[in-house]
Structure 1
Amino acid sequence: MSARQSKLLSLDAFAKTVEDAKIKTTSGGIITLVCVLVVLMLIRNEYTDYTTLVTKPELVVDRDINKKLDINLDITFPNLPCDVLTMDILDISGEAKVDILKSGFEKFRLVDGQEVADETPVLNGLNVFDLIKTDDHSGPCGSCYGALPQEGYCCDTCEAVRVAYANKEWAFYEGKDIEQCELEGYVARVIERINRKEGCRIKGTTQINRILGNLHFAPGASHTAPGQHVHDLSLYNKYKENFNFDHVVNHLSFGKDPESDLIDSTHPLDGHRKDINEKYHLYSYYIKVVASRFESLNKAKTLETNQFSVIQHDRPLKGGRDKDHQHTLHAKGGIPGVFFYFEISPLKLINREEYAKTWSGFVLGVISSIAGVLMVGTLIDRSVFAAEQVIKGKKDM
């Protein structure tokens, strides 16, 4: 044998087996059947992985951060008439929305469990600067009862007087003895609705800036000034046995709210109910909103939405120890109401639908499964065969 042939023999990766390896045994047949079954099972698992759809997330910077964001809200207050309730939206830029109807929301009175459209809503957030000035007024000028200078403004309606009182931080109560309110029937209407223990449902959509802010419901007319935001609690405080901010969040979402089978839910607060039955209680929801896009495998279905997480907290305004957790102390003060504090993330979450394995990964997995099982089977077969030979040799002695 030449030296060149000797080198080639040393590189032979497919060395021939010994003569004993050609012997067929019962144990070898059993091991072969077991190996075949294991290989088929592993191939089936590889195919299942190959055809399984998974969602892979990716975080990117949200390029729409400067655009307005829709907030969709539907909330019910079963123990609070619409005439007592005010909704405000504030953010850290100083922008404030205090007009429920102009912001895209609707009020519905709850009378004996039935929803009734509020045909004569009061105080939808009229601002003091929207009041009619005397220079632009024709005819008799309604009195503001000292809340605003008479030479500068005219309060021709009950709503105008109420807003003027709010800006002066005066108690308005039911508007009794105020001529405009008496003539409009506002006083009688409010007292009737309070005595009937009506509730209120507010639903609609408005837009907010993509920055820190809050949307809150509180009693009475509100007044916003540099460094402060106050509400007139006079009517709320007057009726000791009435009113509380127990509520049901029927729906809360951000952005467009399309129906899709790509995700289960992006509305963790839907159907959330609070029934504490405490008049002076503050409910807070801290919401973190993240813009999200869901891309299906065929790219035909793409869902643009917003997901959010929420932390809930509530406390009595009197402060003190928590009834359920004696080692927890609540702060004292504040106003009764429901506050939604929202923070918009500057990042966007993209969820792409993909197969768990590629075609090449599937083929590689199948080959690896077959090779691995055959190698283990070979080792087991050799061990069993060697053991059988040893036992046979001892019997022949």
Structure 2
Amino acid sequence: MGKGPTLLNFDAFSKSTDDSRIKTTSGGILTLICFITTFILLLNEYSDYKRVVTRPELVVDRDRNKKLDINLDVTFPNMPCDMLSLDIMDLTGDIQIDLLTSGFTKIRLDRDGREIGEETMDVNEGVELISTDPNYCGSCYGSIDQANNENLPLEQRRCCNSCRAVRTAYAQVGWKFYDGKDIEQCEKEGYVQKINDRINEGCRVKGTGQINRIGGNVHFAPGASITAQDKHVHDLSLYDKFSDKFNFQHKVNHFSFGTDNHLTNEYVSTHPLDGRESTVAEKYQLYSYFLKVVNTRYEFLDGSIVNTNQFSASEHDRPLQGGRDDDHPNTIHARGGLPGVFFHFDISPMKIINREQYNKTWSAFMLGACAAIGGVLTVASVLDRTIWKVNKMLKDKKDT
């Protein structure tokens, strides 16, 4: 009976005897080339393995019901602080009116742009009584019906006990307020004098507000704002009064959404509007910025996490009278609108997670290293055998 198969039959690495080994000069050269090539390939493989890359992942944003902070710092060289209003409107119908009266810092600027005063605004500004008489009920100058006030308890009377109250009452009925001249409350509070003393100043506004995570706009406009009869309007009386004063030329010093994190230079795209400056200084000009906001999280190798909001921005400006202008000779602009600066935002329902990772895993590195070594040796073996056979053939031909 014949013997069955043994392990010797499966040996794929058959050995040659020592006396059949022949060393050649070409083989030595190829061996040196193999060492150098293999070292370079392994070095590149290791560098690729240690290289840190950022891999993005797109997921559904589960923070849609939370409020989103909006951080802004804008300079208006030709608009006094007392004439500016900042409002937020979104697609839910919510309107936040005159945000400059709560939590924002307004810095007064002279004609050369130097800071000359800082005012931190709060909601109680301008509501003090101008009389110590507890029964005092200020006149609203016909903007509110006060005919039956004397027959009502004091707490139910319709009174205008401050300049702000009179200005709000005027806005509700669409009356022009101008600078409040000849209105007792405004004269005694010093509002009229203050407005006229600051008529040639500029303003820088800094602060943080909150918006819903849906589309809408944030806008700066002149005069007091009010919502009446489903319309959002501003009192432009003082803005219109002077034809040679005021415009919304501006510089965006900083604009961001969410936690105001300043990342490294690799991620500067999170604040694309910073440093943007308008060049048109027309009085009746509408400046619009269109922002696409995406909630973003960065996860770094050291375990730290940064939550921010990236956004892209495009801009457009047009004259309110419509038609063509020098900047857009081939475009016909719509007519109408409100002079000011509008930031229209649209917030994505998706979230981007950027994770820092090594480019390759350890197993991938080992696989690549083995492939590099094996590939070099295989190619070198084929070349060596080819060179040996050619040399042997030439030698045999010469001998014959």
Which TM class, normalised by the smaller chain length?
A: 0.7 to 0.9
What SS is found at the alignment partner of 1:321? coil
- Check the 8 A contact 2:102/2:122 in 1, yes or no: no
Letter in 2 for 1:384: I
Letter in 2 for 1:294: Y
Can you give the 5+ residue segments of structure 1 that lack an aligned partner in the other structure? none
What SS is found at the alignment partner of 2:392? helix
Alpha-carbon distance between aligned partners in 2 of 1:277 and 1:21, rounded to the nearest angstrom: 92
Look up the match of 1:164: 169
Alpha-carbon distance between aligned partners in 2 of 1:46 and 1:271, rounded to the nearest angstrom: 42
Look up the match of 1:231: 234
Alpha-carbon distance between aligned partners in 2 of 1:8 and 1:274, rounded to the nearest angstrom: 84
Q: Alpha carbons of 1:240 and 1:331: their partners in 2 closer, same or farther (altered >3 Å)?
A: same
- Check the 8 A contact 1:131/1:153 in 2, yes or no: no
| Number of equivalenced pairs | 386
State which drifts further: 213-222 or 29-38: 29-38
Q: Alpha carbons of 1:279 and 1:393: their partners in 2 closer, same or farther (altered >3 Å)?
A: farther
Structure 1 outlier segments of 4+, above 6 Å: 17-21, 120-126
1:286-328 deviation digits (Å, cap 9, x = unpaired): 12222222222242x1212222222222222222235345333
1:140-198 deviation digits (Å, cap 9, x = unpaired): 4222222221246212222222111111112222222323223333223222211xx21
State which drifts further: 47-56 or 342-351: 342-351
What SS is found at the alignment partner of 2:108? strand
State which drifts further: 360-369 or 375-384: 375-384
Deviation at 1:76, TM superposition (A): 0.8
Look up the match of 1:279: 283
What SS is found at the alignment partner of 2:308? strand
Deviation at 1:199, TM superposition (A): 0.4
What SS is found at the alignment partner of 1:191? helix
State which drifts further: 273-282 or 147-156: 147-156
Alpha-carbon distance between aligned partners in 2 of 1:219 and 1:102, rounded to the nearest angstrom: 14
Look up the match of 1:51: 50
Look up the match of 1:147: 143
Deviation at 1:55, TM superposition (A): 1.5
Alpha-carbon distance between aligned partners in 2 of 1:324 and 1:148, rounded to the nearest angstrom: 46
User: Over aligned residue pairs, what C-alpha RMSD do you find?
Assistant: 3.0
Look up the match of 2:360: 357
Deviation at 1:333, TM superposition (A): 1.6
Can you give the 5+ residue segments of structure 2 that lack an aligned partner in the other structure? 148-156
Matches within 5 A, 1:42-81: 42-81=41-80
Look up the match of 1:32: 31
Deviation at 1:16, TM superposition (A): 5.1
Matches within 5 A, 1:1-397: 4=4, 9=9, 11-15=10-14, 22-111=21-110, 112-117=112-117, 138-151=134-147, 153-194=158-199, 197-261=200-264, 264-265=267-268, 266-299=270-303, 301-321=304-324, 323-397=326-400
What SS is found at the alignment partner of 2:390? helix
What SS is found at the alignment partner of 2:267? coil
Letter in 1 for 2:349: P
What SS is found at the alignment partner of 2:198? helix
Alpha-carbon distance between aligned partners in 1 of 2:18 and 2:383, rounded to the nearest angstrom: 18
Letter in 1 for 2:86: M
Q: Alpha carbons of 1:271 and 1:125: their partners in 2 closer, same or farther (altered >3 Å)?
A: farther
- Check the 8 A contact 1:319/1:332 in 2, yes or no: yes
Deviation at 1:229, TM superposition (A): 1.0
- Check the 8 A contact 1:103/1:206 in 2, yes or no: no
1:198-251 deviation digits (Å, cap 9, x = unpaired): 100111112221121211001111121353211111211221111111111111
Alpha-carbon distance between aligned partners in 1 of 2:324 and 2:124, rounded to the nearest angstrom: 37
Letter in 2 for 1:141: C
- Check the 8 A contact 1:100/1:124 in 2, yes or no: no
Letter in 2 for 1:321: R
Alpha-carbon distance between aligned partners in 2 of 1:334 and 1:20, rounded to the nearest angstrom: 98
Alpha-carbon distance between aligned partners in 1 of 2:385 and 2:325, rounded to the nearest angstrom: 72
Alpha-carbon distance between aligned partners in 2 of 1:264 and 1:144, rounded to the nearest angstrom: 54
Alpha-carbon distance between aligned partners in 2 of 1:18 and 1:278, rounded to the nearest angstrom: 95
